[in-house]
Amino acid sequence: MLRIINLEEIQNLLLRVPAIVEQNEQRNPNFVPTVKKWLIELETVLKNNRLPAAANVAALRGNLISTEMGNIPAGINIKGRLTKRKVQQATASQSISQIVEIISSIVQKDVERVAEAQRITRQLVSIAKIKGLITEVPHGKNFTPILKSIWTKMSNDQALAQGVVSVEGLVGPNDALLLLDRTITADK
């Protein structure tokens, strides 16, 4: 189970793909180095989160490195004259496609879990506001005590307690406070 901040870090790396693909479309000579750098960053993030998909990223990065040495990875077909640059670009493109598919499928359950927790939190905050449990919007540098106080009030309310338990069960207590903060401040 990924924490929200870690999930968002992975999602942000995936959101860089359109700009990278744009480089390929524009025949930017930095396309392959950019893909390689992106793969390294993604591999590091996955390793830090102890996700075995880091090995998939490393393997595809290894394919890209092997093209620098003149090898042609399996599954790469080049039309026209075979050049090192064409092989590298094709390998980089194929790597992007494979990695996006792998990572998207890995994080999908976490995305759904967080979305469900956000939905429940939105409902809890709406009810808590009506009941007068949320009287101040968290602000400043150290607003965690305010969030904890609000969450405790919500936990002690008979109508909200089950929802609080559900959110904590989905994302844990720390991420529950994060979602509470985001929900409250989104309505400002």
44 and 15, same domain (yes or no): yes
151 contacts 164 by C-beta, under 8 angstroms: yes
Last residue of a domain, one of 109, 140, 159: 109
Could you tell me the pTM of the whole model?
0.88
Last residue of a domain, one of 79, 109, 139: 109
45 contacts 5 by C-beta, under 8 angstroms: no
Q: Please give the single-letter amino acid code of residue 14.
A: L
* Confidence bin at 63 (pLDDT 50/70/90): very high
pLDDT single digits (tens) 88-99: 999 999 999 999
78 contacts 90 by C-beta, under 8 angstroms: yes
pLDDT single digits (tens) 25-62: 999 999 999 999 999 999 999 999 999 999 999 999 99
72 and 49, same domain (yes or no): yes
Residue reference for tokens 């406070």: 177
Q: Provide the 10 A C-beta neighbour count for residue 96.
A: 18
77 and 124, same domain (yes or no): no
Instruction: Report the number of distinct structural domains present in the chain.
Output: 2
Mean pLDDT of the chain: 94
Q: Provide the 10 A C-beta neighbour count for residue 150.
A: 23
Torsion of CA 122, 187, 128, 174, to 10 degrees: 60
Domain that holds residue 143: 112-186
pLDDT single digits (tens) 108-133: 999 999 999 999 999 999 999 999 99
The C-alpha atoms of residue 17 and residue 25 are separated, in whole angstroms, by 12
Torsion of CA 165, 171, 172, 173, to 10 degrees: -80
pLDDT single digits (tens) 66-88: 999 989 888 888 888 889 999 99
